[in-house]
Homo-oligomer: A and B are copies of this chain.
Amino acid sequence: MPKIVQCVPNFSEGRDLDKVEKIVSVLKNKKGFKLVSYEPDSDYNRTVVTLLGDPLKIIDAVVESTGIVLELIDMNKQSGEHPRMGAVDVIPFIPITNVTMDECVIYANLIAKKINDKYDIPIFMYAEAANKKNRVKLPNIRKGEFEGMKDKIKEEKWYPDFGKPQIHPTFGVIGVGARIPLIAYNIDLDTKDIKVASNIARVIRFSSGGFRHIQAGPVYLDKRGHVQVTLNILDYKKNPIYRIFETVKMEALRYQVKVTASELVGLLPKDALIRSLRYYFKVNRLEFNKEMSLDNLTRYAIEYLKFRDFDKYKIIESNI
């Protein structure tokens, strides 16, 4: 069986669609891996790209796309709702089939070295690939963002893992990591009041007392005209989607605000969906058939978790 990893580079451009097309052009129609999706977000000014396939083929292509980004994006002129420290902000590797986490750490180090050698961009290793304890959590590294990194990187504590302690003047720095599948998940609230999203984010996220494996923050979506709680589920087995979704609904009640929908950014493993749908089936005294088709899983996810803009190709297993 071939080795399959998921690689999810995040690019700091989500508005100029011509630029986005140029960046992903070298990731499309390649042998050995699949470009599963790319989702430019104009509020975030960021595009999350999901690749699935042969790790070495993915590495070469992502190195190539980084070269295109270097020409197209100047971080001194970039802004958006999402925190960022580089034009390619992060490159995480996730083991999927026939690959261990240790191997993903090796792939992460491989691409980090290649990018630094070729473009002189400093790299920070994070999550399972972190070399220092305070670099395990990406937000620790990214704190201060592109603007603050100019000085931060000069402190010995924040010397990069690859490269000189000096940001690339237009590109910034990159975080390269290895991690278990993280679910990037947003919950829509039917209000324009950012304070409501902010209060609810505080309830669920670990850093202010909430669930242990949840990162969350508020965001206002200008185009859509409402706020959302944007969150990462770092361990969907311990903090399943349904529990977070239901807790947000419970908290929203006090503001008389409706939870209208939720959305995934990138993919999620089938197992994550099963663990949540099983809850709703049990609540409704329905028999859950864990062999159900991906089409049915998709249908029920839309029904119970109110997923919007969702189709079965958001489930990792649909793409293998």
Residues of chain A touching chain B, judged by Cβ–Cβ distance below 8 Å, are 203, 206, 208-213, 235, 238-239, 243, 246-247, 250-251, 253-256, 279, 282-283, 285
Contacts and interface: CB of A to CB of B under 8 A. Distances in A.
B213 A212 contact: no
A235 B253 CA distance: 23
Contacts of A213: 209
A208 B211 CA distance: 10
Nearest to A246: B250
B239 A209 contact: yes
A250 B247 CA distance: 9
Contacts of A239: 209
A210 to B, nearest CB: 6
A314 to B, nearest CB: 24
Copies per complex?
Answer: 2
Nearest to A285: B256
Contacts of A256: 282, 285
Contacts of A209: 211-213, 235, 238-239
Contact of A255 (B210, B250, B254, B282): B282
Contacts of A282: 253-256
Contacts of A247: 243, 247, 250
Contact of A212 (B210, B243, B255): B210
14 contacts: A203-B243, A206-B212, A208-B238, A209-B213, A209-B238, A209-B239, A210-B211, A211-B212, A212-B212, A247-B250, A250-B250, A253-B282, A253-B283, A256-B282
A76 B241 CA distance: 47
A250 to B, nearest CB: 5
A257 B250 CA distance: 19
A183 to B, nearest CB: 14
Contacts of A285: 256
A300 to B, nearest CB: 15
Nearest to A239: B209
Given A250-B250, A255-B282, 6 more contacts: A209-B213, A210-B212, A243-B250, A243-B251, A254-B279, A256-B285
Contacts of A254: 279, 282-283
CB-CB nearest 7 A-B residue pairs: A209-B238, A254-B282, A253-B283, A209-B212, A246-B250, A254-B279, A254-B283
